[in-house]
Structure 1
Amino acid sequence: MAASVAMPISAPVLASDYAEVQRQSLYVPVRDGTPLAVNLYRPAQAGKPVDGRMPVIFVFTPYRARYRDKDGKVQEVALDDKMALRSLIRAGYVVAVADIRGKGASFGHRRGFQDRTEAMDGHDLVEWLARQPFSTGKVGMMGCSYLGGTTFHTASTVPPSLKAVFVGSSDLDKYAFVRRGGITAQFNTRPDEPLSDDLASLPVDDDAAGVKLKAAVAQHANNTPMAALWYGMPTRDSVSRYTGNAFWEEVGIYNYLAPIRKAGIGTYFWSNWHDEPTAQSILSAANMPGSKFLAGPGSHCVPPPGFDFTGEVVRYFDHYLKGADNGIEKAPRATYWLEGLNGSGGYVRSNRLPGEGARPMRWYLDGGRSQTARSVNDGTLRTSVGKAGADPFTVRYDLPSADYFAFWAQPMDDKGLSYTSAPLAAPTRLVGYPVVNLRVKADKPDANVFVYLDQVAADGKAEVVAFGRLALSHRKTGTAPYKTMGLPYHPGKAADVAPLPVGQAADLAIDLTPVSRIVPAGARLRVTITGADPRQRNLKDIQQTPAPVITVERGAGAPSWIELPVSD
């Protein structure tokens, strides 16, 4: 059973309170001799580093550890408390922030995105930090988004001195994330930053004139372009022309979980409900027994509001790196925001991950319409199978513009088919992954299908609460190499991908992003189906002319439905 609790929001009580910081930066060569820029932040008193040894928190970033922004102000990752790093220094930790190879002030070039070279670089820096005279020999790592990935991948190399990781908004299966359902969308497809961004990095201490910095950044010109890397590998077993191997498998962290488990490295996974990687963060926790999970109500890498995030981070590392008997290992496994709890929202603590123990409630698509007929003839959702029918729609590419970093989808009910329930008679608690099954056919051998689950308030205001996508050619399901919590898995290998013969119907199994909310009485649920999404950065390149006509079959003999995860 899950329990609702009032979570503390005050600042944590720290065992120590070191208000001063002493910084040092230098180049540290890794195993192949490439010098990486490392910035060290030590607790200080009276202008001098505190004597004695302390555990180290390591952050490995592609976004520059220290740099001047456009206004000339120095920005330093370690002194920003968004990820609790400044509080960790105050609590008696040394914080180290290093630029990955090919970025910031580090030398070398980036072969791939979170590849094994980068992972081993992280390994080498962890062990270097553990050997320093200021270190107890115990190291933790944390980060969010790309930094969560460098944390997770470094852990997969099991450095002996790495004791615990706090992984934010990262993925378990990069192919299933970046090319979900065979379709690229928002994440990881933006153009690379110009070299001038890296030149804005501050040189390390012994490079005041920036000579080494300029030499390092010159090597970055050989970096593999990230968007082109992902776009160039349409199937899970595609061989990249940039890396010369099946790169999706190299960066699939699920391939390296066993060593992390065997080493006993503590794992904590964090994301937020309005953030697409949350689907992967829950699966990561499900595949790492004993791990903790946290989800807040916000967007990408935003510290969960109304929750003592800093205190949680400090307590976590105090336990694993300082041996503190603070009870965090005995606390419930999952802490997550439940929208609508007590009328507005609140945190729940449970020994079950979101989705575990949920019972499926099936709603069937019925009485659809074409998107050209905006009237009361919109389709409906009902709890029993209706009469047989078919609803065609033409894919629309005249979509609203999306923010460049649009981490969440917006309602699309006027761009395809929509099916709406009657107002709910009672509040319904949904926690976990909705799953959609659609019987479809098309007038072209391949097309993309996007599905959105909306909550529609009594006043008509709608919000997207979950979404998913699948290309017709990637419809085949199979057995995953990791735990999927019962969700459909699409292998996506070349042998699994096949066109759908024109006019032939097939079933699509699509898992949507997870939800955690109490849908109030009087609200309605709506399923929308389209053939394109404004967050596809390459939409102009892949759109078909004429646009595909997709038909959704429903009712007796060909039911199409959505299963919602109902939680007690």
Structure 2
Amino acid sequence: MPRLLAFLFAFALFLPGTALAQPADFGAYKPAPQFEEAETTSLYVPMRDGVRIAVSVHRPARGGKAVEGRFPVIWHNTLAIDPAGVGEPRPGLAELTRHGYVVAVVARRGNGASFGVRRGYEDFTEHYDAYEMTEWLARQPWSNGRAGMYGCSNTGEAVMHALTMRPPSLKAAWAGCFSLDRYDGHLRGSVIAQFGTGPARTVEQDMQTTPVQGDEAKVLLRQAAEEHQASTNLFELMRTSPYRDSFSPLVMSRFWYEVSVGVKLDMVRQSGVPLYIQGGWLDDFRTQGFVTLANLPGQARMLIGPWRHCRFDGFDILSEQLRFFDHHLKGIDTGIADDPPVHYWRYDGRGGGSWQTASQWPLPQARPQAIRLAAKTFKVEPEPTCPPDPQATGPAAGAFAVPCHPSHGAAYTQPPLKADLTLVGHPVADLWISADQPEANLFVYLEEVAPDGTVTVLAEGRQRASLRKLHDPPWNNLGLPWRRSWREDEQPLTPGEPVQVTFDLLAVAHTVPKGHRIQVAVTGSDPRERARPGAAAKATIRIDPRSTVTLPVL
């Protein structure tokens, strides 16, 4: 018995927080750290084809030396072993070393200090790399064989793709601001708008990233950077693949299917890996998070706050990540198992808001309320602009900007509200339109107008009119309209002939105060739009009075 007690005590030393951690509420899990230092090393790990992948490893340390023992590993499949070098927002995940985790940061092939060529951005090649890397990390002498993953934005999608490969050592995953279906996420409504199309870096830019240890002269880094120049031009790949079934000679595949997690949902379910989805109400991928949640019942949970893309201002995200990983990687009762699967921030319309919970989404108590749009005609503004966005910072500021109220198009302003109106769910636009061109891009904005005239965009949606044909979705799409968007589904407009174009706006959770107004704006262009068809830029659009926008009223 004494030997057993001694073993249990020694084991507890390598499960930091086991003795101190207590079940806690959402966002309030704060066990005392057991380590104050971390030791960082970096190296190359060869993949099955010999391509060397750069990895930095952060281990718990004391007295300047890594602690002996085996720990769970959490890894980030990103663009460089020093993510700050490429401007990618992320929390201080290495802080988890203080709570008894090894944290690994991996540069995907064709990026940062890693060798290889980026063929198509999270293609099958990168999926296999994720499997190999997970299992390599699990076999190291400092690993206890249990791995977790973290990622947000393109690295959140990297997490989701790793799940489709079902690496046996992967036991928990945190993914933020990603697209379940790459076509619906990046070409929402078959329109390229808002987000960047991925990295396109020069040799000189790559040379600014951190090399692996032993390559301080950056000889290997330069070799890797020069290899990267053969990578696929991602904007060109998207621009020349306007349909979901487009075959791209740049990658020799139907790219949207190859890189979409949605078509591999069965593999994610079979993995059984618990998933925590992070979203933001000011993020273009927020509906994609809700669709993912709906398709992984009992496996996924979600939080969505009043944040921009991969931001979490004013919220201790590291606390919630630790609560999640401690439960699934260490078996600690952190209280998360008793939580409802959804935590969402609901704006109060007065500059504040509060956290709410839900056991399912959409909320069953939400009821549809339609706004009817009167007949109006407008000419498309070919070069719309937005005021500078002071909160969008960094090299990708334009890609992550939130939509602005359009000064062109048609606006439908409702009377002042006689009582507060709470909207939670997914607005849907059902437009009847005609145009004098064979193509039109349609944008709809749901807005709040304050008594002083200030306009706040609550949600927006977009749809290319020629790809309006609806189909049954291949997954649970929350009852929202879905289009297959194959080449054969294209239906050019006949000038002057009205057609029905139905599409959802991004999800919303907002209380519009008494005395404020609801406003719907409809345009044919948006400042974030890219690669707009020429005919769509010249169109004059008429809104038919059969048109409505339906709101989810709580």
After TM superposition, the score normalised by the length of structure 1 is 0.88
Post-superposition shift, 1:508? Answer: 0.7
> Taking structure 1 as reference, are residues 9 and 172 closer, same or farther at Cα in structure 2, changes over 3 Å only?
closer
Which whole-Å CA distance do the structure 1 matches of 2:419 and 2:26 have between them?
31
* Secondary structure, counterpart of 1:86 in structure 2: helix
Match of 1:552 among 522, 540, 543: 543
Alignment gaps of 5+ in structure 1: 1-5, 70-74, 367-389
Post-superposition shift, 1:155? Answer: 1.2
Which whole-Å CA distance do the structure 1 matches of 2:204 and 2:279 have between them?
31
Which whole-Å CA distance do the structure 2 matches of 1:437 and 1:283 have between them?
21
Contact 2:446 2:460 in 1 (8 A): yes
Match of 2:417 among 424, 427, 431: 424
Equivalences for 1:283-302 in 2 at 5 Å? 283-290=291-298, 291-302=300-311
> Taking structure 1 as reference, are residues 391 and 76 closer, same or farther at Cα in structure 2, changes over 3 Å only?
closer
Query: Residue 500 of structure 1 corresponds to which residue in structure 2?
Result: 493
Whether 1:61 aligns to 2:78 is yes
Post-superposition shift, 1:66? Answer: 2.1
Which whole-Å CA distance do the structure 2 matches of 1:67 and 1:470 have between them?
34
Contact 1:430 1:564 in 2 (8 A): yes
Match of 1:408 among 394, 402, 422: 402
* Secondary structure, counterpart of 1:467 in structure 2: strand
> Taking structure 1 as reference, are residues 471 and 341 closer, same or farther at Cα in structure 2, changes over 3 Å only?
closer
Which whole-Å CA distance do the structure 2 matches of 1:546 and 1:341 have between them?
35
Whether 1:465 aligns to 2:474 is no
Which whole-Å CA distance do the structure 2 matches of 1:300 and 1:76 have between them?
13
Which whole-Å CA distance do the structure 1 matches of 2:414 and 2:537 have between them?
32
Post-superposition shift, 1:327? Answer: 2.3
Which whole-Å CA distance do the structure 2 matches of 1:19 and 1:537 have between them?
47
For each residue in 1:367-390, what CA deviation from the matched residue of structure 2 results, as whole angstroms up to 9, or x when unmatched? Answer: xxxxxxxxxxxxxxxxxxxxxxx3
> Taking structure 1 as reference, are residues 190 and 45 closer, same or farther at Cα in structure 2, changes over 3 Å only?
closer
* Secondary structure, counterpart of 1:254 in structure 2: helix
Whether 1:227 aligns to 2:221 is no
Match of 2:376 among 385, 391, 394: 391
Q: Give the AA of the match of 1:176.
A: D
Which whole-Å CA distance do the structure 1 matches of 2:32 and 2:73 have between them?
16
Post-superposition shift, 1:289? Answer: 1.1
Query: Residue 562 of structure 1 corresponds to which residue in structure 2?
Result: 549
* Secondary structure, counterpart of 1:222 in structure 2: coil
For each residue in 1:378-407, what CA deviation from the matched residue of structure 2 results, as whole angstroms up to 9, or x when unmatched? Answer: xxxxxxxxxxxx321111124115662343
Q: Give the AA of the match of 2:180.
A: L
Contact 1:8 1:308 in 2 (8 A): no
Query: Residue 213 of structure 2 corresponds to which residue in structure 1?
Result: 205
Query: Residue 376 of structure 1 corresponds to which residue in structure 2?
Result: none
Contact 2:26 2:336 in 1 (8 A): no
* Secondary structure, counterpart of 2:220 in structure 1: helix
Which whole-Å CA distance do the structure 2 matches of 1:151 and 1:284 have between them?
13
Size of the aligned set, in residue pairs, is 521
Contact 2:150 2:156 in 1 (8 A): yes
* Secondary structure, counterpart of 2:528 in structure 1: coil
Contact 2:137 2:143 in 1 (8 A): yes
Contact 1:443 1:503 in 2 (8 A): yes
Post-superposition shift, 1:52? Answer: 0.9
Alignment gaps of 5+ in structure 2: 1-23, 389-396
Query: Residue 476 of structure 1 corresponds to which residue in structure 2?
Result: 469
> Taking structure 1 as reference, are residues 357 and 118 closer, same or farther at Cα in structure 2, changes over 3 Å only?
farther
Query: Residue 24 of structure 1 corresponds to which residue in structure 2?
Result: 41
Contact 1:355 1:565 in 2 (8 A): no
Q: Give the AA of the match of 2:179.
A: D
Say what the alpha-carbon RMSD is for the aligned residues. Answer: 2.1
Contact 1:356 1:485 in 2 (8 A): no
Query: Residue 375 of structure 1 corresponds to which residue in structure 2?
Result: none
Q: Give the AA of the match of 1:142.
A: Y
Query: Residue 369 of structure 1 corresponds to which residue in structure 2?
Result: none
Whether 1:163 aligns to 2:171 is yes
Match of 1:187 among 191, 195, 203: 195
For each residue in 1:184-239, what CA deviation from the matched residue of structure 2 results, as whole angstroms up to 9, or x when unmatched? Answer: 11213367122222111222113232221111111101100111111110100000
Which whole-Å CA distance do the structure 1 matches of 2:63 and 2:431 have between them?
67
Whether 1:510 aligns to 2:503 is yes
Which whole-Å CA distance do the structure 1 matches of 2:308 and 2:77 have between them?
22
Which whole-Å CA distance do the structure 2 matches of 1:189 and 1:36 have between them?
23
> Taking structure 1 as reference, are residues 449 and 546 closer, same or farther at Cα in structure 2, changes over 3 Å only?
closer
After TM superposition, the score normalised by the length of structure 2 is 0.90
> Taking structure 1 as reference, are residues 546 and 533 closer, same or farther at Cα in structure 2, changes over 3 Å only?
closer
